[in-house]
Every structure is written in structure tokens, then in C-alpha cells.
Amino acid sequence: MKTTTHYEIGDELAPRRAVKDIQEYLENPLAFNEMIRMAESGASFEDLASWWGFAGVEGYPVRAFYFLYSPNPDKEQVVL
């Protein structure tokens, strides 16, 4: 996901904005919902990052998605 969007560190809405950017980029609600199910089932950050990489999404939006949807996010992987 090539983007010029910059997310402010410390902005509590930044993770939600990043995930909204993913939704707009994908334009496919089924794929997005499948990734939510994967995260909620406890997939690791590495697994999610790999799948998002296939979709062309990398960086902060992936970390924000993991933080918001994983039931027990690994705090070392998520620096918001």
C-alpha cells in the first residue's frame, strides 16, 4: 500500500485511521473480514504481516490492525 499518509505518534485515533486506510485500499470487504477472523483467532503478528504483504499492505497499518483485532497482541510487535 503505497501511501503518503503519515500517522502521528501518540494520536489515539491513528490506529483506527490506519485500518480505515487498509479498508479503502482493499476495496474488498470479504478479504478484510477474513483477515479480522484470522486476527481474532489468535494468528501471530508474523502470519498477519505475511498475508497483508501479499495484499500489498505493509508497515504501520499492519501493526495497527494487529493491535486492534488481535485478542492478545504481543506488545513488542506493536509500537503505536
pTM over 0.85: no
CA atoms within 13 A on the CB side of 34: 8
For helices 14-26 and 29-40, give the axis angle rounded to 10 degrees. 130
3 occurs within a structural domain: no
Q: Is residue 25 in some structural domain?
A: yes
pLDDT on residue 47 = 93
Domain that holds residue 27: 14-69
* Within a domain: 9: no
SS3 assignment, position 1: coil
DSSP SS3 for 6: coil
The pLDDT value recorded for residue 2 is: 55
**18, 65 contact by CB (below 8 A):** yes
Consecutive 10-residue averages of pLDDT for the chain (80 residues): 66 89 89 94 93 91 92 69
Give the chain's domain count. 1
